[in-house]
């Protein structure tokens, strides 16, 4: 059984990384390990004991929290003040949400972990500590190096303190469901909802090849105004509670990516038989396809101007991605070599 190291402070974490003799895999409670599978033979380091709320300024709509703090504990602390993080956060830890960035924006222009991260304290792979950004919304603290942490799955740095922007909680929330729809109608209504002046907080299209499509989500604001929108858009009211999830593998490969709204129909119509999908209002999507179709589907996504990455149980396909801009690829490679030249963070 592999040993999991649980440092209790930034100093202890720094020492563990500085003295490491091989690859290190960072995690919180390991609830999002599927987003970045552990490298074989790596040392596991859990940040779950670095778990305090260090600052909370309800009037300024900011807080500073450690990465091991459970999301449920942060929500409970913010609720009496009528404030919230502003993006769907699910379970797991705060650090895990920002390191994985599992869902992107749920509505056009909606809040994401990247937009909510004001700054952080962190440790590089060699144990060097540094700070980026600030605790305040408006700052001139220099380059936003902390933004590199979002979605990096702990492969660039280990955050030890996250400075976050908060949002007021809406007066009311009302869920909606458009029922079972054909693909053409579902897409037309999906785009219509994306273009509303008061956009849904959450907008999700779920479906499969040859099957019915489900369009659902929720609005936030004044209850009377929200019900008027539902009436005008011919949407039935549904529970406002919404639990974010990701598509299960179910023996298939999962492709995660983004595509322009104008190319969404072409993408879904090109999916092979047996495919399922979830598309969020910010245009982040997940597709499940039979394993042999995964790499051809990557080519389809690229041909439509989008990008995607494969999550697969097959090591020959896992992590494969659609072709990226050569300049972006070069920048990514140089960043990794500068921040972790020895490849410690796996």
pLDDT in tens, 109-144: 999 999 999 999 999 999 999 999 988 776 656 668
Q: pTM score > 0.85 for this model? A: yes
Least Cα distance to 121 among 47, 46, 38 occurs for: 47
Q: Which two tokens stand for residue 286?
A: 């997940």
Q: Quote the CA–CA distance of 214 and 193 in Å, as a whole number.
A: 14
137 shares a domain with 24: yes
Whole-angstrom Cα distance, residue 314 to residue 37?
12
What is the average per-residue pLDDT within 83-105? 93
Report the pLDDT averaged over residues 325-335.
79
- Residues 192-199: what's their mean pLDDT? 97
Q: What percent of the chain has pLDDT over 90?
A: 78
Would 337 be classed as within a structural domain?
no
User: Given this model, what pLDDT does residue 42 score?
Assistant: 80
Query: Cα(323)–Cα(120) distance, rounded to whole angstroms?
Result: 31
**Do 37 and 133 lie in a common domain?**
yes
Domain of 224 in residue numbering reads as 171-244
Please say which residue of 197, 224, 244 terminates a domain: 244
CA distance 82 to 169: 6
Sign of CA dihedral 221, 227, 229, 234: positive
Say if residue 36's pLDDT is above 60. Answer: no
Structure tokens at 38: 């552990």
Name which of 20-24, 52-56, 64-68, 203-207 the model is least confident about: 20-24
DSSP state, 313? Answer: S
| Average pLDDT over every residue of 225-230 | 96
**pLDDT tier for residue 37 given thresholds of 50, 70 and 90:** low
Query: In whole numbers, what is the pLDDT of the chain averaged over residues?
Result: 92
For range 256-270, the mean pLDDT = 97
What CATH number corresponds to the domain at position 193? 3.30.70
146-190 pLDDT tens trace: 999 999 999 999 999 999 999 999 999 999 999 999 999 999 999
Residues 238 and 262 in one domain: no
What value does the mean pLDDT take over residues 286-308? 95
Least confident stretch, 54-63, 65-74, 133-142: 133-142
pLDDT at 328: 73
Q: For residue 45, give the nearest of 106, 111, 99 by alpha carbon.
A: 99
Name the residue with higher pLDDT: 162 or 31.
Answer: 162
The CATH number covering residue 39 comes to 3.30.465.10
Question: CB neighbours of 138 closer than 8 A, spacing ≥ 6?
Answer: none
For residues 146 and 275, state if they share a domain: no
**pLDDT for 1:** 43
Nearest to 287 by CA among 315, 268, 303: 268
Same domain, 139 and 206: no
pLDDT value, residue 139: 63
Please tell me the predicted confidence (pLDDT) of residue 145: 86
**Beta strand pairing call for 158-165 and 167-168:** unpaired
Kindly state whether residues 65 and 188 are assigned to the same domain.
no
Task: Examine residue 342 and state whether it is found in any structural domain, yes or no.
Answer: no
Average pLDDT over residues 324-336: 79
């Amino acid at each position: 059984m592999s040993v999991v190291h649980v440092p209790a402070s930034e100093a202890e974490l720094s020492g563990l990384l500085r003295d490491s003799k091989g690859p290190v895999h960072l995690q919180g409670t390991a609830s999002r390990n599927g987003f970045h599978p552990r490298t074989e033979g790596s040392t596991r380091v859990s940040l779950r004991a670095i778990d305090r709320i260090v600052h909370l300024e309800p009037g300024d709509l900011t807080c500073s929290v450690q990465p091991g703090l459970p999301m449920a504990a942060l929500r409970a602390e913010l609720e009496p003040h009528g404030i919230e993080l502003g993006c769907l956060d699910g379970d797991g830890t705060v650090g895990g949400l920002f390191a994985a960035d599992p869902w992107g924006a749920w509505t056009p222009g909606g809040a994401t972990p990247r937009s909510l991260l004001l700054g952080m304290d962190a440790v590089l792979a060699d144990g060097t500590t540094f700070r980026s950004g600030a605790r305040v919304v408006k700052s001139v603290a220099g380059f936003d190096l902390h933004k590199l942490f979002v979605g990096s799955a702990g492969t660039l740095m280990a955050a030890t303190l996250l400075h976050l922007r908060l949002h007021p909680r809406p007066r009311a929330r009302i869920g909606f469901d458009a029922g079972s729809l054909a693909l053409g109608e579902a897409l037309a209504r999906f785009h219509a909802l994306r273009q509303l002046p008061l956009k849904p907080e959450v907008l999700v299209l779920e479906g499969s090849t040859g099957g019915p499509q489900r369009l659902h989500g929720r609005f936030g604001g004044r209850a009377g105004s929200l019900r008027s929108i539902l009436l005008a858009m011919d949407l039935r009211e549904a529970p406002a509670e919404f639990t974010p999830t990701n598509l299960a593998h179910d023996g298939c490969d999962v492709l995660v990516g983004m595509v322009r709204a104008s190319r969404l129909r072409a993408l879904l119509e090109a999916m092979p038989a047996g495919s399922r999908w979830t598309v969020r209002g910010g245009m982040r999507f997940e597709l499940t396809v039979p394993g042999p179709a995964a790499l051809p589907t990557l080519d389809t996504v690229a041909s439509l101007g989008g990008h995607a990455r494969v999550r697969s149980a097959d090591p020959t396909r896992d992590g494969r991605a659609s072709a990226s801009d050569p300049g972006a690829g070069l920048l990514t490679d140089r960043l990794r070599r500068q921040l972790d030249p020895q490849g410690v963070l796996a």
